[in-house]
Amino acid sequence: MWVRRLFQPSTLHWAWRTTALNHPLGRHQGGLRWTHSGGRSYRAVIFDTGGVLVPSPGTVAVGQASSATAQQSGKLTESMAELAWDFATKEGFRVFKEMPATKTLSRSYHAWAGPRSPRTPKGVRGHSTVAAASPSHEAKGGLVISPEGLSPAVRKLYEQLVQFIEQKVYPLEPELQRHQASANRWSPSPLIEDLKEKAKAEGLWNLFLPLETDPEKKYGAGLTNVEYAHLCEVMGMSLYASEIFNCSVPDMGTMEILVRYGTEEQKARWLVPLLEGRIHSCFAMTDRKVASSDASNIEASIKEEDNSYVINGHKWWTSGILHPHCKLCVFMGKTDPQAPRHQQQSMLLVPMDSPGITVIRPLSVFGLEDPPGGFAEVQFKDVRVPKENIILGPGRAFEIAQGRLGRARIHNSMRLIGYSERALALMKTRVMSRTAFGKPLVEQGTILADIARSRVEIEQARLLVLKAAHLMDVAGNKAAALEMAMIKMVVPSMANQVIDRAIQAFGAAGLSSDYPLAQFFGWAQTLRLGDDQLKVAKMELKNQSRLQEPAARRV
Ligand SMILES: Cc1cc2nc3c(=O)[nH]c(=O)nc-3n(C[C@H](O)[C@H](O)[C@H](O)COP(=O)(O)OP(=O)(O)OC[C@H]3O[C@@H](n4cnc5c(N)ncnc54)[C@H](O)[C@@H]3O)c2cc1C
């Protein structure tokens, strides 16, 4: 800007160069080069910490210009250049030399080298394999908008995760994809099982359980919502990562419910094997026959008989139920149809080997079956479970769901941001390596615009999600209600657009299963269901604006 103010644009021809060069005296990101109409050319070299102005080598003498204004500004340019050069040699380079060798604030998803995490200390019984992961209470103070701002312990976890995914997961993705398309797809891949053991050994296990649910860090890493949000984004980079770190849906929800509301017996029977990754669970809420986005519609029945509950219902989209290790179903149904609307529903723990459970058929999303967990339509016919299998008590399903809902939304959103970052990274590599109509794809204007738009949209969405997570940390779910509704409106649509642009830039390959883009797109689309547009609008209308319109004048 200051260059523009000093010299009228009409007398200058200028161009940006954005290559990052390593100068012996510092690192500069690029430069502005211009030619004065007098014929002399100059360049401003932009360093990490600011800019310096230097005359270009091979300059032409001032005096060739025809107009007096041009000559005058030529002199001004030259004296500025000398001044800047003087500053650069005497002061500027001294500053670079004295600068601590800190990393610039940038996100890199490549070649991240991080130290190993500490293992669980001897004698401490925990289900997270991270020892004293985070001084989370400190992290609650400010909104951490980038991984660089995380506490050293959490940053270490972040870097370890990036390294693990880049070194151990990405290289196996083609093989994992082949397994998902093979006849063995309904059995877990041995490669995944092996990676789970490695993740556990490295302390990258059960990181999701939040500090507020598990203040003594008995079961998990005890991270704040903002801290885990950053890690969750990294797990979104690969479709296989969440399972590897025991942070997958719906098990995270089941574990959190059990930690919060489970009895000691329920915890011993179900929570422990889930935390250890020995079993999986599923969540059967959505009824086949009613609009389940309004969960108070759900008609599946839970009736008390003798010392048991008897359940009947026709569910579908029950995720994870086809996994051979799925041993537990969290079932939602009505215990009292006469009670107030939000106290009619209850949640029950149903062992999957109970008689009366029939999987009718697997379902798919755009043809994706998501094995080995999958989704299915399921019939529950006179399934009987002991009374002590109820969670929290009769009529309390909404209360239980509310406690978990906000966090699930943060996790879904950050995973989608991970998908979007990976899609954009793949897109950039692809368009730099292919040529069409005589030019590399990256030089086509529309592709550049797509890259720019994607970067801007990801950044905007991430900031909003982190704000929501931060509000949850410092003020609770209720205070974050508007942000929660907003992220559901913003993030899935953003992810759809970013992934769609990446698919477009890939051509036909983008739609194939050789790349994760088509799957990213499918999962992003599913999270658009139940968009909270109406809720956002209602809350906004209720909000008393600080900039109220003055009352209409009386006539
Ligand atoms: C991949 C996948 C996995 C799933 N996993 C599970 C699972 O594990 N367990 C489970 O129980 N369910 C699961 N579901 C089901 C999911 O929770 C439901 O599909 C969702 O709650 C919407 O319910 P519905 O399909 O009955 O849509 P409906 O309730 O029939 O709604 C139809 C559409 O109307 C919209 N709508 C609702 N209210 C309004 C309004 N006021 N204004 C405007 N539009 C509105 C909804 O957003 C929706 O898009 C899964 C679904 C998918 C696709």
- Residue 534 Cβ inside 6 Å of ligand 1? The answer reads yes
Per-residue confidence (pLDDT) for residue 78, from 0 to 100? 55
Per-residue confidence (pLDDT) for residue 76, from 0 to 100? 53
Q: Name 308's bridge partners.
A: 305, 386
User: Which of helix, strand or coil describes residue 529?
Assistant: coil
Token readout for 80 is 């500025």
Count Cα neighbours of 234 within 13 Å in the Cβ-side half-sphere. 29
- Residue 436 Cβ inside 6 Å of ligand 1? The answer reads no
Parts of the chain with a pLDDT under 70: 1-141, 530-534, 544-555
CA distance linking residue 352 with residue 328, whole number of Å? 5
288 CA from centroid of ligand 1 (Å): 11
CA distance linking residue 20 with residue 24, whole number of Å? 13
CA distance linking residue 264 with residue 266, whole number of Å? 6
Do 143 and 466 touch, CB atoms closer than 8 A? yes
- The DSSP output letter for 210 is B
Do 139 and 154 touch, CB atoms closer than 8 A? yes
Which amino acid would we find at residue 335? T
Per-residue confidence (pLDDT) for residue 293, from 0 to 100? 87
527 CA from centroid of ligand 1 (Å): 9
CA distance linking residue 284 with residue 376, whole number of Å? 10
- Residue 254 Cβ inside 6 Å of ligand 1? The answer reads no
> What's this model's pTM, rounded to 2 decimal places?
0.77
333 closest CA partner among 284, 374, 273: 284
Per-residue confidence (pLDDT) for residue 102, from 0 to 100? 34
- Residue 319 Cβ inside 6 Å of ligand 1? The answer reads yes
- Residue 530 Cβ inside 6 Å of ligand 1? The answer reads yes
Q: Residue 460: phi, psi to the nearest 5?
A: -60, -45
Q: Position of tokens 């929501």?
A: 468
534 CA from centroid of ligand 1 (Å): 15
Residue 98 burial class via C-beta count within 10 angstroms: exposed 0-12, middle 13-18, buried 19 and up: exposed
Give the residue whose CA is nearest to atom 43 of ligand 1: 534
Per-residue confidence (pLDDT) for residue 403, from 0 to 100? 77
CA distance linking residue 529 with residue 525, whole number of Å? 7
- Residue 365 Cβ inside 6 Å of ligand 1? The answer reads yes
Q: Can you spell out the DSSP letters for 421-465?
A: HHHHHHHHHHHHH-EETTEEGGGSHHHHHHHHHHHHHHHHHHHHH
Per-residue confidence (pLDDT) for residue 514, from 0 to 100? 94
Q: Name 207's bridge partners.
A: none
280-391 has CATH 2.40.110.10 classification = yes
Q: Can you spell out the DSSP letters for 36-91?
A: ETTS-EEEEEEETTEEEEEEPTTPPPTT--SSHHHHHHHHHHHHHHHHHHHHIIII
Token readout for 208 is 């999701």
CATH of 402-548, one of 1.20.140.10, 1.10.630.10, 3.30.420.40, 3.40.50.10490: 1.20.140.10
318 CA from centroid of ligand 1 (Å): 12
At the top level of CATH, which class does the domain 110-249+256-262 belong to? mainly alpha
- Residue 531 Cβ inside 6 Å of ligand 1? The answer reads yes
Give the residue whose CA is nearest to atom 42 of ligand 1: 534
User: Which of helix, strand or coil describes residue 522?
Assistant: helix
Q: Can you spell out the DSSP letters for 402-422?
A: HHHHHHHHHHHHHHHHHHHHH
Give the residue whose CA is nearest to atom 36 of ligand 1: 530
Q: Do 110-249+256-262 and 402-548 share a fold?
A: no
Per-residue confidence (pLDDT) for residue 457, from 0 to 100? 98
The pLDDT tens digits for 312-331 are: 999 999 999 999 999 999 99
Do 510 and 517 touch, CB atoms closer than 8 A? yes
Per-residue confidence (pLDDT) for residue 528, from 0 to 100? 84
The pLDDT tens digits for 150-203 are: 999 999 999 999 999 999 999 999 999 999 999 999 999 999 999 999 999 999
User: Which of helix, strand or coil describes residue 126?
Assistant: coil
477 CA from centroid of ligand 1 (Å): 22
Listed by start position, the domains of the chain span 4-98, 110-249+256-262, 280-391, 402-548
Per-residue confidence (pLDDT) for residue 140, from 0 to 100? 60
Our CA dihedral for 426, 431, 432, 438, rounded to 10 degrees, sits at: 170
